[in-house]
Structure 1
């Protein structure tokens, strides 16, 4: 039972980082503290701030004594939290889990059976799923008896029509779970919820959301529900990303395996780690680095990225039968004004036009005067969405 002063801890374990936010269980949203350990396995850095944004911790490690894996990084976070909890009890811990498969379509309390089912999906999200599960295991070890709740990036998309989710394969493959799942669902769910609160009429309409970060995808929403998404069976599909290829002709992979002798491990390494902006540019996966570079490969990589995102906006508008708003979110979407401008430059036929001054200022609404389709910039909050799910699940469990 949630009591006054209790806290909810949210853990978002990625491939080389663990983000965390601590919430007062009775005042969600609005984190009390937030931070992360980034650069795990390379050049780790721990940082934390309070609700006002004041920096409370900023620690870097030399080669000795650095957290070398996710378990060690979580111990750093827990050690720091012990000093700020001030008697608060952690009542539950919520975790972002990228893949829930065909059956896990809502947040669940984690037990051994759930862990086994999620572990079986690790090959479908190799950059994320193993680390998500490592975060759950480490949290369970440090907080024995505290409920752990898994929240899935695939869940928001589970109501898609069959036509949107199936591949052109014999039906038995779909029955086995070989289908398009979609990802970044916690982010899209937050944006849908936020729009419903600030502009209900727009939220009820046809909205394309572009979650553009190191991982990137787009989602078509109508009346706050996911209709289609650019990601598919894995988080590898769709637009190019920081290190991931995005959509690629499967014939390319067959050719590489037959002609170059590449095995599945080599193909996975190429598509997940040595492709995308990093692979195309040979420089960096960071848009800021590419925009600052004079190397023509950097410019080419950004041009391809913008072209592919623009194409997917058009495709998703077709899936919706029109478009009332385009929403940019996540690291690139929220901060890279030049990328937003380049994506929107070819979308005038959809009524999309941005105001350069508003766009450069990262304004919440960057639509040009007279544009028939609104273009918005919104911060996402996956951790806040997870905290809401955790509390809702605990409340349902108490009433059961």
Structure 2
């Protein structure tokens, strides 16, 4: 038995799970939000106890120290010493072209993650902070990096290159890298096992605050909606998804927008937030039901963009055996699933409304009996996937 601590370190948050492998038993979990603020919040839960507090948490080091104290606490803890942690699996968003597999973290690996920060400035720096803090608090544990981009290294050159001068590809490594790979890998493996068809052609829709679609043929990622950075593709909570580059040039040339203003506009002020004033899908669905036209058109735009990617990926794979919904919105929004699957019978996609509105948990089918393609809801579990990959690496 090995105890694997999984850490997902964001720009202002830190999420963890302590998992016993290979039994896949969750011993403890927690989330620290609003790090650096006076009213930061942490919520921890173990097999013995729960603890939720609001207090000032100045940095990631303090956040992880609080998690360690909880894990070691006599009343709520599940370990008696930091030495009981065998490995720490870290989610690292951008591995560039260098990492196609999970890897043990060394000084050289940390330097490479640092060098790739320019490709994921909102993600790689806090990922690296999480690694460095964990090394200090759990010095005896093996540190493992699991890269979001790794699953998409199988995307062929014809799909991952952009039609720009060759030197930008060769020297600057500008290409499609893809993200949410840990989730897409976990969900696609679950789906293929459920379908009992390792060669199935499926499209996985990871729909949360960040959204992405992946074409997966026989378990391999062959195309993906997020590209050089996590901004393209589907409409997201605060990110625009696909946009005509001429708009960016127009705003810079005629309106004097700076790089930072463009970045904030497209990453933090666009998507569903820009269209409705809300980034939470529950608020948007409520607005739609109450007749708010902004919420209605936003949902229609969101679904329409998803449908275009489904069609494109079915064409790229020359077929579609299953459409898979996952992540917070994908698993819980029956309204968006219905809008996505409407008028898709040409591709063999026919939704069963009763099954779609069911509150059942776990993997389930929601298509009609006559639907040629399966429609599945498969809950994602990125932390478990990181634990599985870390466990496999250290054994």
Q: Determine if the TM-score, normalized by the shorter chain, exceeds 0.5.
A: yes
Distance 2:330 2:22 in 1: 31
* Counterpart selection for 1:312 from 292, 309, 312: 309
Distance 1:239 1:339 in 2: 13
Q: Is 1:200 equivalent to 2:206 in the alignment?
A: no
Q: Is 1:136 equivalent to 2:131 in the alignment?
A: yes
Provide the residue aligned with 1:350 in structure 2.
Answer: 347
TM-score normalized by the length of structure 2: 0.92
Provide the residue aligned with 1:332 in structure 2.
Answer: 329
> Which string of whole-angstrom CA distances, capped at 9 and with x for unpartnered residues, describes residues 82-140 of structure 1?
12133360011001111000111111111222112111222322332222111111111
Deviant stretches of 4+, over 6 Å: none
Distance 2:13 2:137 in 1: 18
Distance 2:192 2:45 in 1: 29
Distance 1:275 1:359 in 2: 29
> Which string of whole-angstrom CA distances, capped at 9 and with x for unpartnered residues, describes residues 5-36 of structure 1?
x4110001223322111111342x23222221
| Pairwise CA distance, 1:246 | 0.8
Q: Which is worse superposed, 102-111 or 123-132?
A: 123-132
Provide the residue aligned with 1:257 in structure 2.
Answer: 252
Distance 2:34 2:282 in 1: 18
Would the aligned equivalents of 2:71 and 2:79 in 1 still touch at CA under 8 Å? no
* Counterpart selection for 1:66 from 56, 71, 78: 56
Question: What SS class does the counterpart of residue 226 from structure 1 fall into?
Answer: strand
Q: Is 1:289 equivalent to 2:283 in the alignment?
A: yes
Provide the residue aligned with 1:86 in structure 2.
Answer: 79
Provide the residue aligned with 1:172 in structure 2.
Answer: 167
Would the aligned equivalents of 2:366 and 2:377 in 1 still touch at CA under 8 Å? yes
Distance 2:334 2:202 in 1: 20
Question: What SS class does the counterpart of residue 58 from structure 2 fall into?
Answer: coil
TM-score normalized by the length of structure 1: 0.91
Would the aligned equivalents of 1:206 and 1:323 in 2 still touch at CA under 8 Å? yes
* Counterpart selection for 1:238 from 229, 233, 240: 233
Indicate how the Cα distance of structure 1 residues 12 and 137 shifts in structure 2: closer, same or farther if over 3 A, else same.
Answer: same
Unpaired runs of 5+ residues, structure 1, are 396-400
Would the aligned equivalents of 1:105 and 1:156 in 2 still touch at CA under 8 Å? yes
Would the aligned equivalents of 1:287 and 1:332 in 2 still touch at CA under 8 Å? yes
Question: What SS class does the counterpart of residue 86 from structure 2 fall into?
Answer: strand
| Pairwise CA distance, 1:197 | 3.0
Provide the residue aligned with 2:213 in structure 1.
Answer: 218
Provide the residue aligned with 1:18 in structure 2.
Answer: 14
Would the aligned equivalents of 1:45 and 1:58 in 2 still touch at CA under 8 Å? no
Provide the residue aligned with 1:398 in structure 2.
Answer: none
Distance 1:143 1:261 in 2: 48
Provide the residue aligned with 2:370 in structure 1.
Answer: 370
Provide the residue aligned with 1:272 in structure 2.
Answer: 267
Distance 1:223 1:7 in 2: 32
| Pairwise CA distance, 1:345 | 0.6
| Pairwise CA distance, 1:50 | 4.1
Would the aligned equivalents of 1:182 and 1:231 in 2 still touch at CA under 8 Å? yes
Would the aligned equivalents of 1:240 and 1:308 in 2 still touch at CA under 8 Å? yes
Q: Is 1:46 equivalent to 2:4 in the alignment?
A: no
Q: Which is worse superposed, 158-167 or 31-40?
A: 31-40
CA RMSD of aligned residues (A): 1.7
Q: Is 1:75 equivalent to 2:70 in the alignment?
A: no
Would the aligned equivalents of 2:215 and 2:313 in 1 still touch at CA under 8 Å? yes
Distance 1:131 1:311 in 2: 34
Distance 2:328 2:121 in 1: 22
| Pairwise CA distance, 1:369 | 1.7
Would the aligned equivalents of 1:243 and 1:276 in 2 still touch at CA under 8 Å? yes
Q: Which is worse superposed, 134-143 or 69-78?
A: 69-78
